[in-house]
């Protein structure tokens, strides 16, 4: 997918910019497929607007949020973000549209709009 997107910029509608963040927690994966960094932090947590990541202890998140805030300041927040997360065996798990999933994802959307950078449109 990345190769196709980068191969011919003119093929993408409107010639958008693409940003890829392939893996933030390399040390955690190397240490045994854990979500905790070598510094002992769960880098999947703390993504609210008010949380301040420590540059020394959580550099993965600190610099990602710094970049995101710069994008916001310049009026260039990403239009679409896709997070591909997998399990310990490397499998991606796509969710079907059953009733319980729709209820949970609707509740999550409400919380994300209130507490994070998530927006629509």
Does residue 13 lie within any of the structural domains?
Answer: no
Does residue 50 lie within any of the structural domains?
Answer: yes
User: CA of 40: how far to CAs of 32, 33, 58, 64, 112, in Å?
Assistant: 13, 13, 9, 18, 25
Does residue 102 lie within any of the structural domains?
Answer: yes
pLDDT exceeds 60 at position 121 = no
Does residue 86 lie within any of the structural domains?
Answer: yes
pLDDT exceeds 80 at position 32 = no
* CA distance between the termini of the chain: 24
Beta bridge partners of residue 42, listed in sequence order: 36
Q: Where in the sequence is the domain holding 44, given as residue range(s)?
A: 22-115
Mean pLDDT value across the chain: 77
Q: What is the pLDDT of residue 55?
A: 92
What would the mean pLDDT of 99-108 be, rounded to a whole number? 83
The total domain count for the chain is 1
pLDDT exceeds 90 at position 114 = no
């Amino acid at each position: 997918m990345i190769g196709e997107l980068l191969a011919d910029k003119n093929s993408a509608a409107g010639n958008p910019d693409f940003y890829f963040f392939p893996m933030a927690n390399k040390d955690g994966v190397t240490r045994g497929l854990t979500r905790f960094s070598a510094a002992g932090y769960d880098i999947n947590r703390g993504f609210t607007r008010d949380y301040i990541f420590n540059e020394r202890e959580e550099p993965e998140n600190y610099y990602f949020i710094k970049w995101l805030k710069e994008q916001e300041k310049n009026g260039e927040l990403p239009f679409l973000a896709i997070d591909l997360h997998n399990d310990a065996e490397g499998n991606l798990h796509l969710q079907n549209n059953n009733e319980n999933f729709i209820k949970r994802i609707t509740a999550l959307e409400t919380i994300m709009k209130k507490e994070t950078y998530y927006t629509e449109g």
